[in-house]
Amino acid sequence: MLDFAQRVDTMKDSAKVMYDLFHAVTDPRTINFASGSPANETLPVDEVREIAMEVLQKDGRGFEALQYNNPTGILDLRKIVAEYLLPRRGIEGASPDEVLISTGGLEPLYYACQLFINPGDTLLVESPTFMHAVEMFKMFEANCVEVECDDEGMIIEDLKAKQEKYNARMVYIIPTFQNPTGKTMSLERRKAVAELANEKNFIILEDDPYVELRYSGEDLPAIKTFDTTDNVVYANSFSKIFSPGNRLGYIYAAKPIVDKAFDIKTATNSHTAVLPQILCAEYFMRGYYPDHIADARAFYLDKRDHALEYVKKYMPEGTKVNTPDGGLFMWLQIPSDKIDTRELLEAAKEKLVAFVAGPGFYIDEGKGLNELRMSYGHLSYEQLEKGISTLAELIKERI
């Protein structure tokens, strides 16, 4: 009989949620509100082709692209993070030496766990939260505990109480256009969580992959900007602003943390693939990004407005939906205790519509039964209307 390591057991529930999510859509005709992918229309195919043709020459960056490189990532890309992307988050004066390029946006969460989580440690998460991260945390045998949230993010009193009760080592926060709710943590709460981490000496893992996709409202400074004791590890991804297939992300943290992450990275996979790093760095250095991100924002804004219009038109009265200021997700709450969105999903799939059912985003059993996450950015207007009206019919039948 196979005798797996303990972590295979501790992660099994969240792993099942992720497995089901990835296998939710088997029929290609399905209108897929479940996917968190950026829209194909926002992927810079032509620019990347042009860059790749030039890079992959012997007298271009061809040898560099195909050789081993530095575990921290190529300097060009670390400079773009430190000198261009982080200042847009209010983080000034970062050094490229405090940045480590990762393989996608999940790997920074992996470094954080490798560095700070021992089996049995408590890790606090938002309620609801991104289940892929929970799967990772459980793989490290962490005890994941939910902190209550409202429209401004984590409720500080609950955070304080749970941090004290469990002596939590780390708090995982997606402050901007959160996954799954699309909500954004307020400025006051950002300050308050950073102050608490500084005072009580726990780590905040700030995960910010949607922040550049703001299409309404004002930018807010990162939690990291309020960190005076190096307790915040800032994680981000290039997946939603460049390309998910290139698997690029990064952490920005104090040098001693990055130095230790260097060791983890070396031991894990030596370094992130060089060719995607060069393609991405050149993409920014050639000045393509500002127009590209402006187009993507306008594109998603229009999709959001259409999705909201159809929700208001078709969904039963009393359905709660937020108006996300950015990102890819909206969160629906159906005004009925008769509904279980997991059962609704099975019925919806028969009608070629998929979404993610609410319970999958909670750790505690019994939560989220009347809730669901809808990803709207990558669908056509026709798909948005057909998908939302079909779902609304199924919901009305059930309530």
Ligand X SMILES: Cc1ncc(COP(=O)(O)O)c(C=O)c1O
Is residue 174 near ligand X by the rule CB under 6 A? Answer: yes
**Nearer to ligand X (CB atom), residue 179 or residue 370:** 179
- The residue whose Cβ lies closest to ligand X is 105
Minimum gap (Å) between residue 262 Cβ and ligand X: 20
Report the half-sphere exposure of 22 (CA within 13 A, side-chain side). 7
Is residue 182 near ligand X by the rule CB under 6 A? Answer: no
Choosing from 126, 207, 325, 385, the residue that interacts with ligand X (CB under 6 A) is 207
Among positions 229-258, residues that touch ligand X (CB under 6 A) are 237, 239, 244, 249
Is residue 153 near ligand X by the rule CB under 6 A? Answer: no
For 269-299, b/e burial (b = at least 16 CB within 10 A) is eebbbbbbbbbbbbbbbeebbeebbeebbeb
Is residue 170 near ligand X by the rule CB under 6 A? Answer: no
Residues in the chain: 399
Is residue 72 near ligand X by the rule CB under 6 A? Answer: no
Is residue 36 near ligand X by the rule CB under 6 A? Answer: yes
**Nearer to ligand X (CB atom), residue 249 or residue 368:** 249
**Nearer to ligand X (CB atom), residue 32 or residue 179:** 179
Distance CA 346, CA 316 (A): 20
Stretch that binds ligand X, among 74-82, 104-112, 192-200, 226-234 (CB under 6 A): 104-112
3-state SS track over 305-340: HHHHHHHHHHCCCCCEECCCCECCEEEEECCCCCCC
Distance CA 173, CA 175 (A): 6
Pair of tokens at residue 154? 């984590």
Q: How far is Cα of residue 90 from the mean position of the Cα atoms in its chain?
A: 20
Minimum gap (Å) between residue 381 Cβ and ligand X: 24
Pairing of strands 203-207, 356-357: unpaired
For 52, residues 6+ apart whose C-beta sits below 8 A from its C-beta are 275, 279
Is residue 96 near ligand X by the rule CB under 6 A? Answer: no
Is residue 276 near ligand X by the rule CB under 6 A? Answer: no
Minimum gap (Å) between residue 339 Cβ and ligand X: 25
Does residue 230 contact residue 115 with C-beta atoms inside 8 Å?
A: no
First to last CA, the chain: 47
Stretch that binds ligand X, among 1-9, 99-107, 288-296, 315-323 (CB under 6 A): 99-107
Report the half-sphere exposure of 93 (CA within 13 A, side-chain side). 3
**Nearer to ligand X (CB atom), residue 314 or residue 329:** 329
Pair of tokens at residue 143? 């005890």
Minimum gap (Å) between residue 71 Cβ and ligand X: 19
Is residue 273 near ligand X by the rule CB under 6 A? Answer: no
Footprint of ligand X (CB under 6 A): 36, 104-106, 130, 174, 179, 207, 209, 237, 239, 244, 249
